[in-house]
């Protein structure tokens, strides 16, 4: 009998149409929004062509996701919120108090749209509220609002080294971590953020692509080594779309340095702060999860080493570098020789548990029932014959360069 799996992508993206956000803005910002929207030019091709409606249109989106085998999704932002030049992750920090105020209004508008949109499919969508590191008090208020309105986590951007805000290791963010721990919301970071300002470089795009993994990855050692999880032992921290192959070696390096500092020092250097009570890797085990977006066959070994309880599969829908519309073929290619129990966790169980998705009814509801999701569990991941056929026939596997592997 073929094993069957319920797929939950821990990295999907959505957002409202630009002018829809106006309805979710406080009325005092409407005139400013109208002026901004009149001059705004969207920098992203996939948000201006005919495919853009899948970011918000339930019928189009669910038809595509269900055809791709997905039962649920963790929802990161995709469209541009009001008053931003681009998405939160790549816009850089606001430069003035007025810009900060307007961008906060834009994020609140997105969060309110998102909470309402996720309620269209309760139990199948877990939305992540956006907050600003620039204003801790306002972020705490927004976290409590998000929890009260059904959102399941926050998106907290990685901090660029040249940003004029506290670095991630600072205890100034403790009120945010405390609010998330109290409400049960996870703290999520997504690849693409945290890079310095490359605007004066002639090769800025090249530099960004080369360095964005490092500036995203370093959040892991910042939160662990600064003792965030000692102060907030129930806080959950998620890092998505930044690969996983680097994590095992990073944990070993952190453990080695931690051991050395606790046993004399590293060369002439001595511990200059309070030592962690436990090894850094043990905090990863209890408090951290990786979102493995469009994982490669090579990356599977790192996922296995970290453990499926600390990794979630992600399709990255609707981004072009992701696995849609060939997610099942991609999974067969990468995981065809894994044990079913591990795949159930990796493909959906870990995400459902972390974000509180009601995955059981998704799996059991019949296809085509009135008002029920048009979804059936995916089967056949461990079929060797199907794996070979998919590898020959799937454009994703046959033609796509592994540029996406940089993330």
Tell me the domains of the chain and their CATH numbers. 4-406 (3.20.20.140)
Q: Quote the strand ranges of 191-287, DSSP E.
A: 237-240
Coil, helix or strand at residue 290:
strand
Range 270-293 average pLDDT: 91
CB 299 within 8 Å of CB 245: yes
CA atoms of 186 and 350, how far apart (whole Å): 13
Tokens of 148: 């009260």
Question: What is the pLDDT, as a whole number, of residue 48?
Answer: 74
- On the question of pLDDT at 382 being above 80, the answer is no
CB 254 within 8 Å of CB 281: yes
- On the question of pLDDT at 383 being above 80, the answer is no
Poorest-pLDDT segment among 105-109, 152-156, 378-382, 395-399: 395-399
- On the question of pLDDT at 266 being above 90, the answer is no
- On the question of pLDDT at 392 being above 70, the answer is no
What is the enclosing helix (H) or strand (E) of 254? helix 247-261
Range 191-220 average pLDDT: 91
Question: What is the pLDDT, as a whole number, of residue 406?
Answer: 32
Band (pLDDT 50/70/90 cuts) for residue 403 is very low
Range 120-144 average pLDDT: 95
Tell me how far CA of residue 365 lies from CA of 90, 343, 345, 362, 399, in angstroms: 39, 21, 20, 6, 36
Question: What is the pLDDT, as a whole number, of residue 267?
Answer: 81
Q: Which candidate, 301, 345, 261, places its Cα nearest to that of 10? A: 345
CB 201 within 8 Å of CB 207: yes
Tokens of 299: 């990356």
What is the enclosing helix (H) or strand (E) of 315? none
Q: Which candidate, 115, 133, 18, places its Cα nearest to that of 75? A: 115
- On the question of pLDDT at 366 being above 70, the answer is no
- On the question of pLDDT at 325 being above 80, the answer is yes
Reported as a single tens digit per residue, the pLDDT across 20-41 is 999 999 999 999 999 999 998 8
Band (pLDDT 50/70/90 cuts) for residue 365 is very low
What distance, in Å, lies between the first and last C-alpha atoms of the chain? 36
List for the chain the helix, strand, coil content (%; round to 5): 50, 10, 40
Tokens of 189: 């970071």
Question: What is the pLDDT, as a whole number, of residue 386?
Answer: 53
Tokens of 330: 């991609």
* The pTM of the whole model exceeds 0.85: yes
368 vs 244, higher pLDDT: 244
Tell me how far CA of residue 196 lies from CA of 88, 91, 164, 201, in angstroms: 14, 11, 11, 11
Range 267-290 average pLDDT: 89
Helices assigned H by DSSP within 58-172: 58-67, 97-118, 136-148
Give the count of alpha carbons within 13 A of 261, CB side only.
Answer: 19
Mean residue pLDDT of the chain comes to 87
- On the question of pLDDT at 308 being above 90, the answer is yes
Q: Which residues of 41-52 are buried (b: 16+ CB within 10 A; e: fewer)?
A: eeeeeebeeeeb
Reported as a single tens digit per residue, the pLDDT across 68-97 is 999 999 999 999 999 998 766 667 678 889
CA atoms of 307 and 309, how far apart (whole Å): 5
Question: What is the pLDDT, as a whole number, of residue 400?
Answer: 41
Omega of the bond prior to 215 within 30 degrees of 0, cis?
no
What are the two backbone dihedrals, phi and then psi, of residue 237, each rounded to the nearest 5 degrees? -120, 125
Question: What is the pLDDT, as a whole number, of residue 312?
Answer: 98
Omega of the bond prior to 204 within 30 degrees of 0, cis?
no
Question: What is the pLDDT, as a whole number, of residue 47?
Answer: 72
Fill in the DSSP letter of residue 269.
B
Range 219-235 average pLDDT: 97
CB 351 within 8 Å of CB 312: yes
CA atoms of 67 and 49, how far apart (whole Å): 21
Question: What is the pLDDT, as a whole number, of residue 381?
Answer: 58
Reported as a single tens digit per residue, the pLDDT across 160-201 is 999 889 999 999 999 999 999 999 999 999 998 888 988 899
């Amino acid at each position: 009998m073929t094993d069957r799996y319920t797929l939950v992508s821990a990295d999907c993206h959505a957002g409202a149409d630009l002018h829809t956000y106006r309805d979710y803005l406080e009325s005092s910002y409407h005139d400013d929004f109208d002026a901004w929207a009149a001059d705004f030019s969207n920098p992203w091709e996939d948000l201006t062509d005919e495919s853009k409606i899948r970011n918000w249109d339930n019928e189009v989106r669910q038809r595509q996701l269900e055809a791709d085998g997905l039962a649920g999704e963790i929802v990161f932002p995709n469209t541009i919120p009001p008053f931003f030049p681009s998405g939160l992750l790549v816009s850089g920090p606001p430069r003035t108090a007025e810009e900060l105020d307007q961008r906060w209004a834009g994020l609140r508008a997105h969060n309110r749209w998102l909470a309402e949109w996720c309620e269209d499919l309760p139990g199948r969508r877990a939305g992540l509220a956006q907050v600003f590191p620039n204003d801790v008090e306002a972020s705490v208020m927004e976290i409590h609002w998000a929890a009260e309105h059904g959102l399941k986590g926050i998106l907290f951007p990685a901090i660029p080294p040249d940003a004029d805000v506290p670095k991630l290791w600072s205890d100034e963010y403790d009120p945010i971590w405390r609010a998330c721990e109290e409400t049960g919301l996870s703290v999520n970071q997504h690849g693409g953020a945290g890079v310095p300002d490359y605007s004066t470089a002639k090769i800025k795009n090249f530099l960004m692509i080369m360095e964005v993994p490092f500036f995203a990855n370093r959040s892991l050692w910042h939160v662990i080594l600064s003792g965030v999880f000692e102060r907030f032992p129930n806080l959950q921290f998620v890092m998505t779309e930044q690969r996983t192959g680097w994590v095992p070696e990073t944990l070993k390096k952190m453990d080695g340095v931690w051991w050395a500092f606790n046993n004399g020092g590293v060369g002439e250097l001595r511990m200059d702060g309070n030592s962690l009570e436990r090894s850094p890797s043990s905090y990863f085990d209890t408090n951290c999860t990786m979102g493995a977006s469009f994982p490669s066959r090579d990356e599977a070994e790192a996922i296995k080493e970290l453990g499926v309880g600390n990794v979630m599969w992600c399709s990255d829908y609707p981004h072009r570098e992701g696995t849609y519309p060939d997610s099942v073929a991609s999974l067969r290619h990468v995981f065809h020789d894994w044990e079913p129990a591990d795949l159930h966790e990796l493909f959906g169980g870990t995400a459902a548990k972390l974000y509180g998705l009601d995955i059981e009814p998704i799996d059991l509801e019949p296809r085509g029932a009135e008002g029920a999701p048009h979804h059936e569990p995916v089967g056949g991941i461990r079929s060797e014959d199907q794996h070979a056929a998919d590898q020959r026939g799937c454009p994703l596997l046959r033609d796509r360069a592994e540029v996406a592997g940089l993330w």
